Amino acid sequence: MSSQRSLDDSSSDTPNHRSGADPNEFPTGLTTSCNTPVSASLAIAVAFIDTHAAESLSAGTIASVANLSMWESQRQFLAHFGVTPLQYVRQLRLEGVRAELGPPTPGTDVRIIARRWGFAHLGRFTNTYFDHFGEAPVRSN
């Protein structure tokens, strides 16, 4: 498997956070922190992450897909979002889990949803989710 993937290479069972309505839409909580336009390379990296959020992603793969060095990729993410590429991935995954959990309903299996979004260790996921949202995953709105 090549470390460089096509943006069109998405699986129908892979979660995707974006609505598709606005190509410049960024996931909730991940707004750009500066007024400069997002570079084409950064837009490619963000689109790739969005399409492959639940997969195992490395900083190197993200940089490679966007034709950036790892240093430049990290610099651009920090400048525009205030987080590294992998922190961006984690936040996107957390937002995806929260959106999928929706209102608490009987039969909602947090473990299945968390795993679908790439969180393999339920205990670490629960702690990360609580740190990010201030609530346990089962109490999401």
Angle 12-29-45 from CA coordinates, rounded to 5°: 50
Which tokens go with 31? 């707004």
* pLDDT value, residue 106: 75
Burial of 14 (0-12, 13-18, 19+ CB in 10 A): middle
Residue, of 27 and 137, whose pLDDT is higher: 137
Residue, of 5 and 101, whose pLDDT is higher: 101
**H/E segment holding residue 47:** helix 40-51
Distance (Å, whole) CA 132 – CA 127: 9
Within 8 A by CB and 6+ apart from 60, the residues are: 3, 70
Q: Is the pTM of this model over 0.75?
A: no
pLDDT level of residue 11 (50, 70, 90 thresholds): very low
Residue, of 53 and 20, whose pLDDT is higher: 53
Burial letters for 116-136: b for 16+ Cβ neighbours within 10 Å, e otherwise?
Answer: bbbbeeeeebbebbeeebeee
* pLDDT value, residue 105: 73
* Predicted confidence (pLDDT) at residue 93 exceeds the cutoff of 60: yes
